[in-house]
């Protein structure tokens, strides 16, 4: 039995999956010099580039909840 795999097609699908994960929005946590934190929706790449970057939370609802709910 001979199995032939189209490597270019599999590479493209893997690359698209990685791009989709990178563009997925999560919650970015920024620490201020004077103390305190701020949270906002962001992709992981955008978050890491921000000054004061503290952490990136993939599945946290804190960025998407209204303060008045």
User: Which tens digit of pLDDT belongs to each residue from 4-61?
Assistant: 555 555 555 545 554 555 567 899 999 999 999 999 999 999 999 999 999 999 888 8
pLDDT score, position 64: 75
- Asked if residue 53 is part of any domain, the answer here is yes
- Asked if residue 18 is part of any domain, the answer here is no
Separation CA 57–CA 60 (nearest Å): 6
- Asked if residue 64 is part of any domain, the answer here is no
Q: Which 3 state secondary structure label does DSSP give 31? A: strand
Tokens of 37: 């934190």
- Asked if residue 10 is part of any domain, the answer here is no
Q: How many domains does the chain have?
A: 1
Structural domain harbouring 31? 27-57
- Asked if residue 36 is part of any domain, the answer here is yes
Phi, psi for residue 39 in degrees, rounded to 5: -125, 140
DSSP for residue 4: -
- Asked if residue 45 is part of any domain, the answer here is yes
């Amino acid at each position: 039995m001979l199995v032939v795999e189209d490597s270019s097609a599999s590479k493209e699908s893997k690359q698209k999956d990685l791009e989709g994960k990178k563009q997925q929005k999560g919650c970015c946590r920024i620490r201020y010099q004077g103390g305190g934190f701020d949270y906002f929706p962001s992709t992981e790449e955008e978050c890491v580039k921000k000054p004061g970057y503290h952490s990136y939370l993939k599945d946290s609802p804190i960025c998407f909840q209204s303060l008045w709910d």
